[in-house]
């Protein structure tokens, strides 16, 4: 997609409430899929084949949720159904779409570190970090933003300025250059543009 260098890309962080609702929508969908699989397995496979049942239930508990998040966050709308409904998406620290590998790492850290091992304290951390990053976000360097429908596919080499305070990447527009400053969309700090082009 062509990038409009004169366009101001306003990036807003997603609210923690919207993220909470989104993940609950996703878990309801996954739970429905799991119970459908569970009953299909029970009907199709005799009870004696317990190993096969255990394997298929492992697929239902681990593989389906993993693929649900990783595929949706890295293709098409770059958002899960829950995220799409709530108008949010997961990006990297430069607000670009994330890779399957990063989404996978984020999923397992979210489930097993932030949620289980730390009894959801990993999620609570998002209330106290500058970019509302949960523990798994901090580890894999992801940010959850409001999805404005504009591309966030901004190549790193096109990044012009970084906020001196919170390190947010920002693309100054014409009027910013005219003023010689830009206001960081995340922390509100006014930054001086040194290299005018």
Binding site for Zn ion (CB under 5 A): 163, 165-166, 168, 184, 186-187, 189
CB nearer Zn ion, residue 135 or residue 186: 186
User: Smallest distance from the beta carbon of 11 to Zn ion, in angstroms?
Assistant: 11
DSSP secondary structure letter of residue 111: I
CA dihedral 27, 65, 42, 32 (to 10 degrees): 30
Pick between residue 115 and residue 163 the one whose CB is nearest to Zn ion.
163
Q: Least separation, in Å, of the C-beta of 119 and Zn ion?
A: 32
The CB-of-140 to Zn ion minimum distance in angstroms stands at: 21
191 forms beta bridges with 182
Nearest-approach distance from CB 179 to Zn ion, in angstroms: 17
- Of 64 and 187, nearer to Zn ion (C-beta) is 187
Identify whether the C-beta of residue 81 lies closer than 8 Å to the C-beta of residue 25: yes
CB of residue 124 vs Zn ion: minimum separation in angstroms?
Answer: 23
**Beta carbon nearer to Zn ion, 66 or 94:** 94
> What minimum distance in Å lies between the beta carbon of 101 and Zn ion?
28
CB of 23 or CB of 184, closer to Zn ion: 184
Of 149 and 194, CB closest to Zn ion: 194
The tokens describing 47, both together, are 């009870």
Cα 76 to chain center, whole Å? 14
Only one residue has tokens 């304290």, namely 121
* Long-range contacts, 98-106 (Cβ 8 Å, 24+): 98/73, 98/74, 98/142, 99/74, 100/70, 100/71, 100/74, 102/140, 102/141, 102/142, 103/69, 103/70, 103/73, 103/74, 104/66, 104/70, 105/139, 105/140, 106/69, 106/136, 106/137, 106/140, 106/142
């Amino acid at each position: 997609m062509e990038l409009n260098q004169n366009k101001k890309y306003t990036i807003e962080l997603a609210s923690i409430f919207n993220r909470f609702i989104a993940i609950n929508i996703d878990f309801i969908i996954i739970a429905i899929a799991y119970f459908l699989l569970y009953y299909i397995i029970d009907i199709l496979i005799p009870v004696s084949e317990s190993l096969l049942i255990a394997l298929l239930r492992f697929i239902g508990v681990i593989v389906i949720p993993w693929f649900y998040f990783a595929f949706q966050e890295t293709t098409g709308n770059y958002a899960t159904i829950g995220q799409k409904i709530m108008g949010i998406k997961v990006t990297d620290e430069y607000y670009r779409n994330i890779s399957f590998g990063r989404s996978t790492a984020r999923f397992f850290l979210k489930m097993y570190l932030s949620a289980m091992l730390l009894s959801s304290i990993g999620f609570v951390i998002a209330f106290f970090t500058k970019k509302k990053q949960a523990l798994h976000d901090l580890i894999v360097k992801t940010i959850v933003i409001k999805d404005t429908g504009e591309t966030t596919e901004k190549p790193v080499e096109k990044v012009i300025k970084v906020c001196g305070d919170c390190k947010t990447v920002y693309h100054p527009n014409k009027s910013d250059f005219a003023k010689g400053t830009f206001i960081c969309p995340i922390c509100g700090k006014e930054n001086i543009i040194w290299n005018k082009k």
